[in-house]
A and B are shown apart, each in its own frame.
Chain A
Amino acid sequence: MFDAHIVRKDFPILNRLIDGKKNIYMDTAASAQKPLVLLEKLEKAYLEEYANVHRGSYWLSEVATENYEKARQIAAKFINAESSDSVIFTRSATEGINLVAGTYGLANLHQGDEVLLSRAEHHANLVTWQQTALKTGAKIVYFDLDDCGNFVWENFEKALSPRTKIVAVTAMSNVLGTIFPVEHICKAAHNIGAKVLIDACQFAVHKKIDVQKFDCDFLAFSGHKVYGPTGIGVLYGKYDLLKEMPPYQYGGDMIEHVSYEKTTFTLPPARFEAGTPAIVQAIGLSASLEYMMQFNFDDIEQYEAELIDYTTKRLLDISGLKILGTAKEKGGVFSFAIDGIHPQDLAFILAKEGVAIRTGHFCAQPLVNALGYNSLARASLGIYTTKEDIDDFITALQKAKNFFANEI
């Protein structure tokens, strides 16, 4: 059985005090805290097994290369990729999406083609395609969710057209929490010959990724949100597509043969990892992914579903509080607004109570604006979030509310 109280013990930072108060970390959707096993792995990689990879024929380089490539296999296992050759290490999910847009997108999008996005995409999966559309003459088409944030199949289907070449959607909205039916999306898109990129940044934290079951063409997620290091992300691509894609950046480690006149490029994944990669970050990520894989995802999901219900109930007990995003299928993020209290003011008070929440537009400005706000507050759950955290968070909210009730 999954027990967040036991899990918490693996995350030393959760025990520290914030200005003398308990650390109530409710911003995992922005970045997750790190388990001790990650730090141990990083330490070992730097202190005992460090050298550049894919180069030297000496022991340290061999062991570093082995660890780095093993990290690729672990990442492949985490997403159930058919082969680790389909796994590219990037700097972040943002870079992964940029890589697909900048190589596959630029090579395959033409005037009149369409890229289909949901209206809930965050900037990484929106600005990137806007810019690619500007360069290629392609058009961005959006489909709507309903007012509660539910994915509406008819809206999606109606927006698909024979001109759709790429569908780029999140698997879980970072604002609304909505879980997208990615498997069905891929099937429908493939039926009309479009390729699908899944932004799995939030999804990866809460649910099991299975790229073969999804049958997606590309999938990106970032390391730091799945309890891993910053500066590392994973991009999955179907190998047949990756093989046809031009390089994204040029440099060492991605070439087959170089002369002064001409260069031929090596096969993926190395083709897309120019220069010295984020070696230790990738190795560190593998420790975090293995850490997550020791749990049964069904147990995590069940625990989280209960915690989501509980949090929703407690939040709605607060008068004047509105939750944005109440889709039937949703993960552990709660965007909310309280009548008469600006999220920034609220966050100031919560911070003094040791509670960390995010405020603003969460890098999804068009969506937050479309919901009728300039700024929202957001609390999000991680595998270490307990019912007591929620209680402390609610108590702090009440306190903030009382504070402002006397001021306004």
Chain B
Amino acid sequence: MSSPPHRLELRGVTKRFPGCLANDQVDLVLRPGEIHALLGENGAGKSTLVKIIYGVLHADAGRIQWNGQDTHIPDPAGARRLGIGMVFQHFSLFDTLTVAENISLGLDQPGPMDALSARIAEVSERYGLSLDPRRHVHNLSVGERQRVEIVRCLLQDPKLLIMDEPTSVLTPQEATRLFETLRRLAAEGCTILYISHKLEEIRALCDTATVLRGGRVVGSCDPRRETARSLAEMMIGTELSTPERLPQGEAGAAKLQVRHLSTTSDNPFATNLKDVSFEVRAGEILGIAGVAGNGQAELMAALSGEALVPDPASVAIEGRPAGHLGPRERRLLGLAFVPEERLGRGAVPELSLSENALLSGYAREPLVRSGLVHFGRARSYAERIIGAFNVVTHGHRAEARSLSGGNLQKFIIGREILQKPRLLVVGQPTWGVDAGAAAAIHRALIDLARSGAAVLVISQDLDELFVLSDRIAVLFHGHLSESRPTHHTSVEEIGLLMGGLFNHPPDEDEVDRAV
């Protein structure tokens, strides 16, 4: 094989932030036409590295070569001039503008709108990214919005396309379609740098993987020759123990019953729940899948008591109507709750772990007596959580924000589980959590269910739901599908449901959006 110059070569790239070395002597070689995975846990330095490549950040030391030439990337515009495009995890689109208008805003030389629309149509067709330039962004699905971002990059004829966690917002079917596009691009010589922590995806898509850990490159490999397990072990640096699924015992009495729950929100961007019904029984884990923004936040709020529902009987905890009760009263009935956002909802960043133990522990633990806080007990409660869930921290005085995502999540889940709830509702239990902590969290959730509590897991991560759940249901546009026993369904079937292919009375604007 002859060796044309490398598309991009990083040598010894180092970036230091106060208190942490985000990239330490990182070497990375990207060849033309390869799909290259950048793998690593949260905090491994992936996004710092990518931001350096895209000119958002500047390395403290190191060398960048582009097509064999030493180069300096001053800013994102400079990166685009070189031929580097990036699709961010969070889109930057204006809802009220059309696809073409949005794209024109992101281009350095957009040219006249008609010509641009024609080019958009042409490019999107060539890469199988069907997209109508005249449509307004607010009625595009998340997958379509991502296509807008991709097409925006493609119009600049990139030589290197960086994709940051692109499938986290897609259904499995949409992801498959994205992979086809990426393969076609690669075949035309475009290099793709693909950031993800979904190991199966990387095995299916990528030619090469570079693994980062603690800011350093710890290895590179051909992911097609690895197993998901071996990749994960490279990422975390130790052996991984996956939780064993114990056979489910007899499901007991219903701990949570939701009956014809509908919500109406003042927020125009909320997804209202429409006639949602399900129940969770003692001893079982019910998983609710769905792409973000399909009503998960509204369901969580209606269950936790942060939003009250008009009909008290539509949410029943331990058989008692609870729709009109606030979070504290619901906790007294036996509910514990782990919200999706750890910092800023599940924990107060600036407060110590013992104060954060008090945050939700006050209802079910004897931490408050006649209006006074029993700080000694709050401290020992925090220490019990830290001990029981192996939270890595320098003690109960540590501020919540000083913990890594995985450790803080272990602390929050520990705080809820040690309250011995009869019903636990968890949102995205392992989102952004490293593999080691994720395994520990899964273990704890399964143990809790096997000890006789009912557990409801709302997650976008299908792999996780298939590991955890006894039954799975899907939330789509505020409707909930029938639940299916996990061993009688498949990722494909759930994926189709996540795209909206289940029977519900269609409402006016939904049918065309659903596709």
Q: Do A and B bind each other?
A: no
- Could you list which residues of chain B lie within 8 angstroms of chain A, going by C-beta atoms? none
- Could you list which residues of chain A lie within 8 angstroms of chain B, going by C-beta atoms? none
